[in-house]
Amino acid sequence: MICFNKCSATIDINVPELEYLANHLTLDECRKLIAAAHFTNFELPNALSEAELRISKDLSCFELLVHWNSSPGEGKGRSHEVLGHRLRQLGKFQLADWLGRTVFQKIGQDLEKALDEGLKSSSSDTFTLEPLVELPTVPYEDPTEWTPMDSILFAILSVLIVTSVGACLIVCYSRVRQRLRKRSPNIYRRVDLSDNSSSESEEKFDVRDISMYSESTPIYLKSEKAS
């Protein structure tokens, strides 16, 4: 921040503000403020009285403030918050509020001035804008809408399913048929239930307990496997 009279010191305090503080502080208050501003502690140091004794009594309050404001390792490069914080600790709340309000007001004025200058310089420059290129619009498509391609895919899928099921049925039928063919056939022969039946038939089939069949009723018995 550039101060009035081109002072190189704190980043946001100028000479008129230091003069205002000096006019509203007694010499003792000013010496105590300068002594406290030399410390970096947040709270007031215990050795504040000893530090105050080291402050020269031959200089005025304004000279003390300017010396602190422009000395490296003291106020140079720091902000107004250092003096504002020490003023509140010393009970000078109105001066601390005035300092903060004045500094921020000056910062706002500088920012507004910088913006105005930047806008004026930009308005004087000429810019060539490239012509706008209109991109083609993509028509909206409903993802749930049934399209001809969906019909084709559904037909292909149906054919594949029917073909697969049919092939499985054919394979299963051919295997069952082959197993049935491998089994040996049963041979049946006619047995005449008459009184003149041979002894051989009586050994294989006892007809004495069968009363439901007549003598002339033929019975087919399962014979042994054909040789």
pLDDT digits (tens, 9 = 90+) for 74-90: 878 788 888 888 899 89
Tell me the whole-structure pTM to 2 decimals: 0.46
Average pLDDT, the chain: 76
Q: How large is the greatest C-alpha to C-alpha distance in the chain, in angstroms?
A: 167
Name the band, by pLDDT with cuts 50, 70 and 90, for residue 186. Answer: low
CB 67 within 8 A of CB 76: no
The residue among 1 and 21 whose pLDDT is bigger is 21
Rounded CA-CA distance 152/166 in Å is 21
The residue among 15 and 210 whose pLDDT is bigger is 15
* pLDDT digit string, tens, across residues 42-67: 888 888 888 888 888 888 999 999 98
Range of lowest pLDDT (93-107, 132-146, 201-215)? 201-215
CB atoms within 10 A of CB 99: 22
> Can you give the length of the chain in residues?
227
Backbone angles phi, psi at 221, to 5 degrees: -110, 145
The amino acid at residue 124 is S
pLDDT of 134 above 80: no
pLDDT of 31 above 60: yes
pLDDT of 225 above 80: no
* Helix axes 81-89 and 27-37, enclosed angle (nearest 10): 120
Q: Which pLDDT does position 7 carry in this prediction?
A: 46
Name the band, by pLDDT with cuts 50, 70 and 90, for residue 190. Answer: low
Output the six-digit token pair for 194. Answer: 């008459």
pLDDT of 168 above 70: yes
pLDDT of 156 above 90: yes
Q: Which pLDDT does position 122 carry in this prediction?
A: 66
**What's the whole-number mean pLDDT along residues 11-39?**
88
CB atoms within 10 A of CB 6: 7
Provide CB contacts within 8 A for 33, sequence distance 6+.
25, 83, 86, 87, 90, 92
Output the six-digit token pair for 97. Answer: 């509020």
Which runs of consecutive H residues, i.e. helices, occur in the chain?
15-23, 27-37, 48-53, 61-70, 81-89, 93-124, 148-182, 199-204
Q: Which pLDDT does position 43 carry in this prediction?
A: 87
3-state secondary structure of 5: helix
Name the burial class of residue 146, with classes exposed (0-12), middle (13-18) and buried (19+) by CB atoms within 10 angstroms of its CB. Answer: exposed
pLDDT of 39 above 80: yes
Percent of the chain with pLDDT over 90: 13
CB atoms within 10 A of CB 133: 5
